[in-house]
């Protein structure tokens, strides 16, 4: 469940991606470009990941074979925003977002409900195409201990997260 602390994503999906993030971590579910990528696109996505890591998000992963990033919350919104802003010229189109299938969106909504039930009352329902986890929309994540509470809730709700990425939960 270590990957759960990273979530995904995105996604992602996506520590707070806000308006700059075309929508991530990423969902912590279906983040990415939504299709296969060429070697050049993959290289660009890897450079973007390296940039994000170099700007304070040390656990941001390289993209998978489809060019998708499976990532979630591990840093504060301020750190995430700084990294995304610093790397925006390297960010592949759609790199931090994509639409979820109806099944994935239903799982995303169950995940959000579980997060709220586990101490993050201001966790919003994710809109399809937006990040599953966007700390810019979770005011409590900016408070002392807020990220710890959010990460603990995400760990407890991991089975729902697996469904958002097409897994079995």
The Cα 128–Cα 69 span in angstroms is: 17
- Residue 58 is predicted with a pLDDT of 87
More confident residue, 21 or 43: 43
So what's the pLDDT on residue 161? 61
pTM: 0.54
Most confident of the following: 24-28, 32-36, 51-55, 162-166: 51-55
CA gap 4, 11 in Å, rounded: 12
Rounded Cα gap, residues 43 and 135, in angstroms: 28
Q: Which tens digit of pLDDT belongs to each residue from 90-115?
A: 888 767 766 778 888 888 899 999 99
CB 7 within 8 A of CB 28: yes
Cβ atoms of 27 and 12 within 8 Å: the answer is yes
Q: Enumerate the domain spans of the chain.
A: 1-169
């Amino acid at each position: 469940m270590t990957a759960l602390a990273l979530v995904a994503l995105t996604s992602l999906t996506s520590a707070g991606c806000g308006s700059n993030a075309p929508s991530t971590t990423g969902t912590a579910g279906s983040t990415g470009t939504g299709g296969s990528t060429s070697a050049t696109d993959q290289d660009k996505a890897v450079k973007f990941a390296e940039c994000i890591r170099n700007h304070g998000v040390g656990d941001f992963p390289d993209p998978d074979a489809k060019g998708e990033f499976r990532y979630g919350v591990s840093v504060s919104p301020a750190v995430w925003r700084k990294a995304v802003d610093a790397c925006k010229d390297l960010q592949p189109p759609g790199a931090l977002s994509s639409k979820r299938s109806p099944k994935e969106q239903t799982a995303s909504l169950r995940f959000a409900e579980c997060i709220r039930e586990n101490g993050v009352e201001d966790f919003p329902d994710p809109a399809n195409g937006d990040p599953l986890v966007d700390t810019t929309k979770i005011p409590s994540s900016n408070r002392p201990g807020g990220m710890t509470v959010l990460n603990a809730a995400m760990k407890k709700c991991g089975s729902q997260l697996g469904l958002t990425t097409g897994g079995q939960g």
